[in-house]
Amino acid sequence: MSNRKIGMWLYQNGGGDVIQEKMINKLKERGIDTIPNLNLRYAVAKNGHIICDRKEESKFKLDKLDLFFSYNAGEQTQYQMYLYKALNRVIPMINSYEAFELTEDKFHTSFVLRTNGIQTADYKLCHRDDSYHLNKIIKKWDRMVYKPTDGWGGVGLTKIENQETLDMLMPFLNQMDLRYFYVEKFIDYDNTDFRIDIVDGQFVGGYGRKAGGSDWRTNVTSGGSVFARDIPDEVIQIALKAAKVTELDIAGVDIIYDREKEEYVVLEVNGIPAFITPEQEKIGIDYNDKKIDLIVDLIDRKTTKLKKNTNNITKRNKLEKTA
């Protein structure tokens, strides 16, 4: 099927520009044109349309696209997400705004996972003024981790070792004018995790990350490092289920092994997991082509379905007019 057009906003660093070019070429082979680098920062909404005005092109209506593929965590702003949500109401998105919004929030993600039988860290969400429950939980857990519900890359994570640490942290958190506090029980693990990539309900590949030095965070942005590791089938099945219940088309599921409870635990579900970098490919982690092919298949299927539905509506309207 031809005459399909999608918008794409994919990060350009770490080899993202090469990934984008490969994806555009593969989509072109299927009769799908791509408008790349569609940053909603430069879009405006008026009179039922979301319009992008770029110097290299004339104005066009984003709501007339067959699909929008948003894949850029590092440059996302509140304004862009606001338009992302509006655009999601009228055209297919990858990922959908609902799934993206869910997994951007650590509490809501853990809540949904646990209610669907997927083990996560024990957690507590309480009102900002409810110091009673925080004091009670530190005595029960011994150690816990404060997490901003909307943070990423390990930013803002604070390990609370004891009551004294909590007492020192509270004034700082109160100054931030937070509405609530979200904390997780600190899990006894070996300072490594699994990052599992899932696309369209299929396992793509995975690797390990290890915390750097004396740090306990495995995020690369926090000093962690990536290494090749075998992925147990149990870990793959957990990741597949986590992606399914959060309804993400594309997911990166972070899983660790709880040595105390002797079970795997989902630590986070990421809606924009980075592709493998050139540096990571050198150590044997290489499944970008598989991931690209699965994303192209997904885009092809979603836009084909949309065109069929649109054509059926058009035919039905014509029949009603001639009846």
Could you list the mean pLDDT of each consecutive 10-residue stretch along the chain, which spans 323 residues?
85 93 97 93 91 69 95 89 94 96 93 97 81 75 74 59 69 68 87 96 96 75 84 98 98 96 95 94 95 98 75 48 53
Cα separation values, 213 from 220, 258, 266, Å: 12, 20, 23
- Longest CA–CA span in the chain (Å) reads 78
Structure confidence at residue 137 (pLDDT): 77
Structure confidence at residue 18 (pLDDT): 95
One-letter amino acid for residue 322 of the chain: T
Q: Residue 257's closest CA among 199, 208, 310?
A: 208
Domain positions in the chain: 4-95+290-322, 122-185, 189-271
Q: Which two tokens stand for residue 5?
A: 């057009």
pTM (2 decimals)? 0.85
Query: What is the side-by-side strand order in the sheet with 67-71?
Result: 32-35, 4-10, 67-71, 93-94
Q: Domain 189-271: give its CATH architecture.
A: 2-Layer Sandwich (3.30)
Cα separation values, 98 from 86, 177, 196, 247, 251, Å: 11, 26, 21, 8, 14
Tokens 């699965």 -> residue: 294
Q: Are 122 and 258 in contact (CB under 8 A)?
A: no
DSSP 199-246: ETTEEEEEEEEE--TT-----GGGT-EEE-----HHHHHHHHHHHHHH
What top-level class would CATH report for the domain 122-185? Answer: alpha beta
Q: Does domain 4-95+290-322 have CATH number 3.40.50.20?
A: yes
